[in-house]
Every structure is written in C-alpha cells, then in structure tokens.
Amino acid sequence: MTEIRASTILPARREPVTLHTADGLALVGELARPLDRPPVATLICLHPLPTAGGMMDSHVLRKASYRLPALAGVAVLRFNTRGTSSEQGTSEGAFGDGVAERLDVAAGISFATDHDLPDRWLLGWSFGTELALRYGNDPAVSGAILLSPPLIRAGEADLDGWAASGRPLLALVPELDDYLRPDEARARFARVPQAEVVGVDGAKHLWVGEKYVSIALNEIVRRVSPAAWPLPTEWKD
C-alpha cells in the first residue's frame, strides 16, 4: 500500500481534449476517466481567476483529476478558459472579465454531454464559482460545488435562479477566506433552500496544504459519488 500524498498521481485514462465555443474559440483541456470502469459521475472544473494565476492546473483541480477517477470512479474534465495558459497549453481568445466566459462554460457542458459523461456537476473555485452560478444553471447539469465562492460577480438574481431550479449547491467556505467567510456565506446562500454551506476550520481561500485538499475532495465525493466516501488515504499498488 502506498500513502496518498500531495504529488500522488493514480491510474486513469487521461487524454488531451479541445473544447469549441459558440464564438469559434478552441479551449485547451484534459479529460481523466476511470481506467477500468465507466464513470459514475463527472466534474466539469471551472478554475480560479486567470489574471491572478488561475488555470486548469490550479492545485485542487489538478489533484481531483489525479485521484478521483481511481478512488471514486469520477470523470474529471478540466480546461483553460479563453486566453488562459497552463502547462497543457493556451486557450484561444482573451480574458472576458467573467462575461464572455459564459460561452466557455457552455462549451464545457456541451463537451460532457456530447461525450455521454454521466451525472454532470460543475466544480468551481473562486472565479470559477462565479461562472458556475451565473452560467451553469443548465438542465444538463446535476448541480454545482463551489470552493471559496466570493459572491462578487454572482448576485441575488443568480442565486434565485438556482433556488427556482431545485438543483443542489454545495459551498465549501474556508474559515479564513479573504472574501466570504462561513457565517456570511450561510446568510447569502439562505435564499437557496437546497444550498448546503460547509465551513472548513483553518482553511484559507487557496486551500493550501494536503489537509485542506483532502477535506475538499472528500466533501466533493460525498456529494457526487457517496459510495466512495470517505476517500482512502492509501492506494493498493
């Protein structure tokens, strides 16, 4: 048995993919699927703010793709929004300040739907939660999981839309977040009856530290692949 560490990469079927937006852009991405079974659910990842270094390889999203196909049977789709670069490459276009990215979210959902990926959940982190709340309330989506939601670009009308849809929202809110902390998050999300807000003691906006990554991934799996929860801390070679 091997202990699962911050750098652990578990077996999966990983392939580079290209997403195509309605305005003609090609977005760089990767799809990671379980090696030996069909996926039970799918995460469509929306990364943090690219002008502050956010990208598809931001560490929590990268570690989700490294671990969850093997540990939880979950497919993980990551991609760079327009104009964003990572080791995987650079997506076409230019940063759209969270407006033009509406088409990028649609491209991610369409890709997952077109490839018959099941039980599609949005996984947004920071800026990515704003995209999920504003543009991800789609019949093809089962729900959304929000890491460190700042609720700056997304407002009451977006939350009311989710409330009306009945689609589940799970907000993982660090105790020491720079923008929105648990008590305020509970008050803001109260207008969405089906929203669950989980405060994470000691965590900060960037989820630095394996302890906090593990908490985040376990909360994600608890919602999208409950039979695999809690995640193991060791892997059988």
Tens-digit pLDDT profile for residues 20-48:
999 999 999 999 999 999 999 999 999 99
- 63-97 pLDDT, tens digit per residue, is 999 999 999 999 999 999 999 999 999 999 999 99
CA distances from 149 to 2, 12, 84, 133, 185 (A): 34, 29, 20, 9, 8
The whole-angstrom separation of Cα 189 and Cα 196 is: 8
Task: Decide if pLDDT at 147 tops 90.
Answer: yes
In CATH, what number is assigned to the domain containing residue 25? Answer: 3.40.50.1820
Q: What percent of the chain has pLDDT over 90?
A: 99
In this structure, which amino acid lies at residue 174? P
Across the range 135-152, mean pLDDT stands at 98
For β-strands 120-125 and 143-147, DSSP reports them as parallel
Domain count, the chain: 1
* 23: containing domain: 2-235
pTM of the model: 0.98
* Mean pLDDT of the 3-25 span: 98
Q: What is the average pLDDT across 176-185?
A: 98
* C-alpha angle 146-152-155 in degrees, rounded to nearest 5: 85
Mean pLDDT of 197-208: 98
The answer to whether residue 237 scores a pLDDT higher than 90 is no
